Amino acid sequence: MMRLQRVGRKNDPSFRIVVTDKRTGPKSDRHIDRLGSYNPKMNHVQIDAAKAKEWLAKGVQPSDTVHNILVGQKVIEGKKKNVLPKKSPIIDEAKIKAEAEAAAAKAEAEAKAKADAEAAAAAAAAEPVVEVVADAEAPTDHTETAPVTEEAAEAEADTKTEAQTDAEDD
């Protein structure tokens, strides 16, 4: 197993990156190989990448923290593991970016649909309204038509909008 072994003083942590048998204690000095060191206060990592790759090829499993150090140093490829899952989850930036893009696309599609609906409503309102006038001699004959004035068309549009708002309020 590849793991960290603490060697620092009190309130001054520093670690060795060692290969050790899983059954040995982390404080025992009985490790198989020393690969490097890690100082979390100075954020300094020194690691022998060739040795680390060699031990990984032999089947040694790194601890989660050592795995993250190896990924950070580009010794191995992969995603970092969350070593404190209850306290601080790892933020998946790619997922957040994809969700933001999907939300933006959805908003854009809704805006386009709304603009199309408004254009269709404007086109319908722009059509000339023709009022049917019954012939005095034959009241069922609606063949004669008279054009409607602009004032009458506006009044009719106002009544339609009032009816729609009343229906929405109910």
Q: Tens digits of per-residue pLDDT, 77-119? A: 988 888 887 776 666 777 888 888 999 999 999 988 888 888 8
| Whether 3 contacts 20, CB under 8 Å | yes
| Whether 30 contacts 80, CB under 8 Å | no
Q: Between 65 and 84, where is the model more confident?
A: 65
pLDDT at 168: 75
| Dihedral Cα 111, 112, 114, 119, nearest 10 deg | 140
Distance CA 128, CA 160 (A): 16
Q: Which residue has the tokens 């933006």?
A: 104
pLDDT at 153: 77
pLDDT at 145: 57
pLDDT at 95: 82
Q: 15: closest CA among 74, 1, 35, 25?
A: 35
Half-sphere exposure of 64 (CA within 13 A, CB side): 6
Tokens of 64: 């989660």
Q: Which residue has the tokens 């290969």?
A: 19
pLDDT at 160: 83
